[in-house]
Chain A
Amino acid sequence: MTKVDVAVIGGGLVGCSAALHLRRRGASVVLLERRRCGGQASGVNYGGVRQQGRDLVELPLARRSRRIWAELDALVGTDCEFEATGHLKLARSESEMAELEIYASRAREFGLQLETIGPERIRTRFPWLGDGVVGGSFCAEDGHANPRLVAPAFARAAVATGADIREEIEVLHACHDGEVFELCLSDGTSVRAGRLINAAGAWGSTVSAWFGEPVPEEVMAPNMCVTGPIPYFLVPNLGVCGGGVYVRQIRRGNVIFGAGVGVADRDEIVARPLADVTAGAVRLAVDLVPKLASAQIIRTWTGIEGVMPDGLPVVGLSETTPGLIHAFGFSGHGFQLGPGVGAVLSELAIDVATTVPIDPFRIGRFSNDGTSRHRAGSAASSPGRQSGMQSGRQSGTTRLSPVT
């Protein structure tokens, strides 16, 4: 029997970052990962490190995370190939361009500087763009990184500071006896912990259900492709209004792009891209950047991502169980947030509060029928929506005493 301050379920980027940040604050940590750290969505995602285009309520968290990305090398001993190449979100109609303008002015309130580029300048600056593009919004701070490296780097750094990270160990069940959490593990051992962080990704709703908090988490498998190397020209990470297609090129020359979804089986833990979706993604990518037609696809892949009905993650304290903290369901855009969410989780575990506004992500926002109580449908990237900062309760209003 192991006794720790905090147990973390899930060795994705969120869980590994939480483990590292908890250790830096002196808490004892055990992290349980069924397979290998960063093996699921954290490791096989597109690799975009992007703030622009997010739902405005995510921006404070994204800003916090971006500061960690900037100091990754110092924090985990590698920059994980993170490069602030800029992110260019493209409009393909007047109305989309208007949408980008509105978003840019709203994002400024959160300290995110976006440069909108009209039709007269967009092609001078990015001469390789296809005909359909009428303008764009450029975020110089954004960029991309190698997702395969990030979560394992956080895990190694956490272990170096004394975290107990156990891979290939599954948490069969967890419960709370009113005082502490008890986790039954697949190797027959158990762990007792004062706090429990549920960072189980696409399986987060399984864990939340153990504590009487079922949520409607679906799964999604983003269909992604990579080409063989072609001469480096495509510097910014590219997206489009509506999020239909995304494209980036790494300095080695390979172009990574995606659109549409493959198939995912959460129970079997397998996901696969689909050939016709790949074909469709090729057409969308070449429409956006015609030069890509000269490339060859060398690999396609996907992963299993947890998706919430409103497109926002679940991050925050449990509403049924004191000491339980959730962070899952990142709905296809958790990679950039991961490092910051880990930091916020460490604050929730130790201080029972965080300065980052996370109320829009509370688990109680879903009613039992799976709809959002306070928000209708997915408002992601809708610029007209109010920021959620002023609404709802502040987090951290539980009666827990801080971990020493």
Chain B
Amino acid sequence: MPSTVIVGAGPAGVRAAETLVQAGIRPTVIDEASISGGQIYRRPPSVFRRDPNALYGFEAKRAGDQHRTFDNLRDQVDYWPNAAVWSAQGRTLSVVTETGPKELRWDRLILATGAMDRVVPFAGWTLPGVYTLGGAQVALKYQACAIGEHPVFIGTGPLLYLAAYQYAAAGVDVRAVLDTAPFAAKCRALPGLMSGGRTFLKGLYYVLRLRARGIQLAAGIRPVAVNPGPDGTVSGVVWHDRRGREKRTACDALAAGFGLRSETQLADLCGVSFVFDPVQRQWLPSQDGEGRADIEGVYLAGDGAAVKGADAAELSGARAAHALLYDLGRAESARELKALNRRLARSERFRRSLEAGAFPFPADLAAGAADDLMICRCEAVTAGELRKSVCELKATELNRAKAFTRLGMGRCQGRVCGPAAAEILAESLGVPLEAVGRLRGQAPVKPVPMTAFLDGAVS
């Protein structure tokens, strides 16, 4: 029997699985988490008792729907939780599972690998107490703890307000929400944002609720530095307001994030070609508009294909599955594909207004990093060393700079430092971002313990 594999059990992976099961296919679903939901609908451990409405806010219904959908599919899929696909070669995935390393052959593969925070380094970003927005959410949803008693949320993007709202709703004393995107940008983007309908209203509600709680909201800011206290952890953040005046906010933790970046390593290892997306400022796996990659049998869905948010991820998950079914000869999927594409097109305007209009990525902040600022924290490479590799060593693209400086060679393999490094390199060279290329994907996708391959690990 042909093997159909879905990697990822977030909104896209779950809808893809549901669609395939409805068509009589039994897919294998591989997920790094112990239970489905992905990052956005991450579930707390079963012993936790926090009310989903408190945990997910407006998303509670969707989260519950997602969770139930997948739980109901459990007998109709081969489910591999706590399993990490660390390499892909030809039509074989290499997976580290709870019971040892496994190789899994696929005939059809849907990649729904999700996204992670896009990090912009600024002074003090490596201090203990500084988290990504996603990290702050994981702490709250999965570990039922806050990153601090008095956190500040800084960065840009819808997640900034959502995470701050979730923290405030959990009773945490959120000190400030500091957005690098100017207020004027949001006003200009308003017509496009309104097309988001319910999603836009939810975002507006979060902002209003934060304001009603008396939490300081500032737009058009620039982070300057995170200050350490006597114990070496975060004691406050220095920032410039929109007029360039220096401000200081005391806090004991900082959640920072500047939009999301797609997790594309597996698509890369599968041999999919990449195209530069000027809105997301990232190289993304290319696809045909229905989720088909340019490697036969590979389909792309969700934020791992392009960051468009959870609702769109559900649609693109279903779309990838229908494209797969259509390619297997199921003609009725053509109608579904059309309908899904119409709905995705509608959300596209909203998404563009959000990404490029309301919450533009502060590329100048990344590119303008001071020479002594550490960009790659795994290998302790500063912006100055990166620039030096351009000037003195003639590194004209990212992989060359990586070879010379070790930037992106550490445990994150450039997933954290890559976006900022690309901006710095492009600025130093005076070329567009896409001209510096992208870091090559190399296995493992994420670090693999050596013990995974030793005796005692069942094959």
- Chain A interface residues toward B at CB < 8 A: 36, 43, 148-149, 152, 156, 226-228, 252, 272-276, 278-279, 282-283, 285-286, 292-301
Contacts of B448 in A (CB 8 A): 296-297
Contacts of A300 in B (CB 8 A): 87, 442-444
Shortest distance from the beta carbon of B20 to any chain A beta carbon, whole Å: 26
Given that A43-B403, A156-B393, A275-B87 are contacting pairs, would A295 and B450 also be in contact in the complex, using a CB cutoff of 8 Å?
yes
A227 vs B444: C-alpha distance when bound (angstroms): 11
Given that A282-B453, A286-B454 are contacting pairs, would A299 and B442 also be in contact in the complex, using a CB cutoff of 8 Å?
yes
Shortest distance from the beta carbon of B223 to any chain A beta carbon, whole Å: 29
Q: Which single member of A152, A272, A296 contacts B411 (CB below 8 Å)?
A: A296
Contacts of B411 in A (CB 8 A): 228, 296, 298
Q: Is the CB of B393 within 8 A of A297?
A: no
A276 vs B95: C-alpha distance when bound (angstroms): 11
Shortest distance from the beta carbon of B85 to any chain A beta carbon, whole Å: 10
Residue of A nearest to B101 (CB): A279
For chain B, residues 350 to 403, give those with C-beta under 8 angstroms from any C-beta of chain A.
Answer: 378-379, 393-394, 400, 403
Q: Which single member of A149, A152, A156, A283 contacts B454 (CB below 8 Å)?
A: A283
24 contacts between A and B (CB under 8 A): A43-B403, A149-B404, A228-B410, A228-B411, A252-B379, A272-B89, A274-B89, A275-B87, A275-B103, A275-B443, A278-B453, A283-B453, A285-B450, A293-B450, A294-B450, A295-B449, A295-B450, A296-B411, A296-B449, A297-B447, A297-B448, A299-B409, A299-B443, A300-B443
A228 vs B406: C-alpha distance when bound (angstroms): 13
Q: Is the CB of A296 within 8 A of B450?
A: yes
Q: Is the CB of A279 within 8 A of B409?
A: no
Contacts of A294 in B (CB 8 A): 450-451
C-beta contact mask, B37-61 vs A, less than 8 Å → 1, else 0? 0000000000000000000000000
Contacts of B280 in A (CB 8 A): none
A272 vs B403: C-alpha distance when bound (angstroms): 17
Q: Is the CB of B450 within 8 A of A286?
A: yes
Q: Is the CB of B450 within 8 A of A275?
A: no
**3 shortest A-B CB distances, which residue pairs?**
A275-B94, A296-B447, A148-B403
Given that A36-B400, A275-B103 are contacting pairs, would A282 and B444 also be in contact in the complex, using a CB cutoff of 8 Å?
no
Shortest distance from the beta carbon of B13 to any chain A beta carbon, whole Å: 22
Shortest distance from the beta carbon of A35 to any chain B beta carbon, whole Å: 10
Q: Is the CB of A227 within 8 A of B103?
A: no
Q: Which single member of A149, A152, A297 contacts B444 (CB below 8 Å)?
A: A297
B36 within 8 A of A: no
Shortest distance from the beta carbon of A106 to any chain B beta carbon, whole Å: 36
Residue of B nearest to A302 (CB): B442
Residue of B nearest to A275 (CB): B94
Shortest distance from the beta carbon of A308 to any chain B beta carbon, whole Å: 27
Contacts of B444 in A (CB 8 A): 297-300
A298 vs B447: C-alpha distance when bound (angstroms): 5
Contacts of A276 in B (CB 8 A): 94, 103
Q: Is the CB of A292 within 8 A of B450?
A: yes
A301 vs B399: C-alpha distance when bound (angstroms): 13
Q: Which single member of A152, A278, A283, A296 contacts B443 (CB below 8 Å)?
A: A278
A152 vs B67: C-alpha distance when bound (angstroms): 53
B227 within 8 A of A: no
Residue of A nearest to B93 (CB): A275
Contacts of B443 in A (CB 8 A): 273, 275, 278, 299-300
